[in-house]
Each structure stands twice: as C-alpha cells, then as structure tokens.
Chain A
Amino acid sequence: QQPVQSPQAVILREGEDAVINCSSSKALYSVHWYRQKHGEAPIFLMILLKGGEQKGHDKISASFNEKKQQSSLYLTASQLSYSGTYFCGTRVTGGFKTIFGAGTRLFVKA
C-alpha cells in the first residue's frame, strides 16, 4: 500500500525550513528518500532503517519512528537547489520492493 506524504506541495523562500512527512499503514523495515528535479531521474538522499534512527546529509536530515510507521524529512535553511519533488519509499521486512509515495513538490524562491 502506497505511503501517504504530506504536504502535497510547499513554497519556501530561500533560508526557510520545511518538513515533509511520510506515513504508512504497514509495519516498516526501512524508509528511503529521493529527490527528483523536473525532467530528471530521482536521486537518492538517504535510507533509514528500523531502529528509529536519524540521519543527516548537509542541511537535510530525516527521522524514522517505526512504532508510528512514520518518517519525516527536514530541510534546513533551504537553498534554491532544493527545489524539486521529494518522494519517500517504504519497504517491509524481507523484501526489496520499494513502494513510493505520491511525492511532495517543493519550490524554493529567492
């Protein structure tokens, strides 16, 4: 079942922060985050594994609450280059199948 992402879209000014949420109705093993720019392929950002870990990548970080079956992506001090569509992908235990959410469109303006 497809994970639910929120919000569907967000507009930011450069330097502002944003949070993108991803929730699933199934018990998750891992959550994957990707960013896709218009006309390009999705690019991997990070993977969070069962265990409730938190990861960071420059000014982009994420958390995974396995009990709530939720993950959040945090974008701090957003830059113009952060614009794009962010997808979360979820996996259950025992498989390689990643089910992607519908995406969150992020637009950062100067």
Chain B
Amino acid sequence: DAGVIQSPRHEVTEMGQEVTLRCKPISGHNSLFWYRQTMMRGLELLIYFNNNVPIDDSGMPEDRFSAKMPNASFSTLKIQPSEPRDSAVYFCASSLEGQTNEQFFGPGTRLTVL
C-alpha cells in the first residue's frame, strides 16, 4: 500500500489567496483526520470524518477553513482567504476505527503564507 498521500508537499502563497490541500487515505480505512502542527500550538486536530461524514469540526479555527470528503478515497482542506498565521504543516491521517485505531499519517503539506 502506498500509505496516505498528500499534495502538494510544499505550498507558498500570498495572503488572501485560496489554498487547497489534498489527501488520499489508505484504501479500506473508514476514518480521516486533518491536523495542523506548529511550534507554538503543537499537533492540533482540525476535523475528522467517519465513513465520509464530518463528525467533529470543533478544531477548525474559523470560517476561513473548510473540509470536504466527497468519497472514501479523497478529502480536501481549503483555506480562503489565507493569512500568515495559517503557516504550518498540515497532516492528514487515516485509520480503521473500531479495529486497530492506529492512525497512519501522510507526509504533510508545509504551507507558508506570505
């Protein structure tokens, strides 16, 4: 298995621009998680889906952030408009909840907003 795939790996954009991060979970996994990691705030859970349905989005910072999971093999995290404080590494992780519950993390997207 290729593992969790994220794209792009690096994104540099200017303040005010729209940013879309993409994730392909491991085939057969039923849950998908979006995390943000910064030095100041550590590893924060933004939102998670179970069977493509958003279960808990309480970690989404504000309305500028949105996430979708149109099918079992694809999810996006969108920031519109982006701000410099959104600069971070964004990880997507997937798991087979109810079985092993082990989360497999993707390589992350390093976002820099200028």
Q: Which residues of A contact B103 (CB under 8 A)?
A: 32, 34, 42, 44, 98
- The count of chain B contact residues (Cβ–Cβ below 8 Å) is 22
Q: Which residues of A contact B33 (CB under 8 A)?
A: 98
A44–B104 touching, CB < 8 Å: yes
Judge if B34 is at the interface, Cβ distance under 8 Å. no
Docked-complex contact B102 and A44, CB < 8 angstroms = yes
* Contact (Cβ within 8 A) B106 A41: yes
Q: Say yes or no: is B12 at the interface (Cβ < 8 Å to chain A).
A: no
Instruction: Considering the complex, give the chain A residue whose CB is closest to the CB of B56.
Output: A97
A41-B43 in contact (CB<8A): no
State the CA gap A40–B89 with chains docked (Å): 10
Seen from chain A, the residues whose Cβ lies within 8 Å of a Cβ on chain B are 2, 30, 32, 34, 40-44, 47, 87, 95-103
B-side residues, CB < 8 A to A, are 31, 33, 42-45, 48, 50, 55-56, 91, 95, 97, 100-108
Cβ contacts A to B, 7 pairs, < 8 Å: A42-B43, A42-B105, A47-B102, A95-B56, A96-B95, A97-B45, A100-B45
